[in-house]
Amino acid sequence: MLKSVYAMGGSTTPWQIPSMNYQGWDYAAMAPSALHDHNEPEAAGAIAWILYSAFKVTGNSKYRVGAELSMEYLNSLTSNPSYELQLPCGVYIAAKMNAELGTNYDINKMLNWCFNNDNIRSWGVMSGSNWGGYDVDGLIGEINSSIGYGGDYPFTMNTFELIGNLVPMIRYDSRFATAIGKWALNAANACRLFIRNIYRLQIRTRQVKYGLTNMILIPILLMNQCTSIIPRTAQ
């Protein structure tokens, strides 16, 4: 992992931040992945998270330096780098590094990136959304998605992952405690809609053949705006 930061152009003599605008990285070849159809610069934050964690465990400053190089790349960006999962890791570790190292990464900018959908995938947080009388504010996914029937397209684990990074982040930067708390409350409320024992989701089912029989799957992994949510008591 550390070697890749330098293979991407990072340097300490002189100090030079790496270019991390790739979809994937081949760690065997130490080169960008041959498979490519979009870039995911948000991965710089995830790499910083791994390297700073390595520094905390080992005490070896080379990992801290690698984390700083990676985070400086993410911090230098002027447009939203979010694709799906990795940006919240960067926000968390940026706040932690600011608190522990005295760095000055722009947490406000990165937080706004997490919530806004001005990125390659129109990925962000549902806001002002009400489906059949049920609030879905706070869930994360594609906004006005072109997938399936269109509309908003939130995911369970993506919502949990954002909560899992941003809630502990306020330990290191309390300026955002009220805003994050309000969002997390709404997200937790909306997440109950994914649980089929509480709500029966009338959706287009998918049949997957396992060799013996066809099984109907009710995907509680995700919902989209065409989903009709019916309370269990109404069945």
- pLDDT band (50, 70, 90) for residue 98: very high
Residue 207 Cα distances to 91, 157, 171, 210, 221, angstroms: 39, 23, 45, 10, 16
Residue type, position 212, single letter? L
* pLDDT score recorded for residue 221: 60
Name the band, by pLDDT with cuts 50, 70 and 90, for residue 105: very high
Q: What mean pLDDT, rounded, does the chain reach? A: 83
Distance between CA atoms of residues 93 and 46, nearest Å: 9
Residue in this structure with the two tokens 């409320």, named with its chain if needed = 189
Residue type, 92: Y
The sign of the CA dihedral 87, 93, 94, 96 is: positive
Q: Break the chain into its structural domains and give their ranges.
A: 1-105, 122-235
- Read off the pLDDT of each residue in 83-105 and give the average, rounded to a whole number: 96
Beta bridge partners of 31: 26
Is 20:41 a contact under the CB 8 Å cutoff? yes
d(CA 190, CA 184): 10
Highest mean pLDDT out of 51-55, 142-146, 230-234: 51-55
**With contact defined as beta carbons under 8 Å apart, do 134 and 229 qualify?**
yes
Task: Report whether pLDDT(213) > 50.
Answer: no
Local confidence band at 47 (pLDDT 50, 70, 90 cut-offs): very high
Q: With bands split at pLDDT 50, 70 and 90, how would you rate the model's confidence at 76?
A: very high
Angle between helices 156-169 and 107-115 (to 10 degrees): 160
Is 38 a residue whose pLDDT tops 60? yes
Q: What is the pTM of this model?
A: 0.83
- Going 94 to 96 to 97 to 102, the CA torsion angle's sign is positive
Q: How confident is the model at residue 117 (pLDDT cuts 50, 70, 90)?
A: confident
How far apart are the C-alpha atoms of 172 and 98, rounded to whole Å? 8
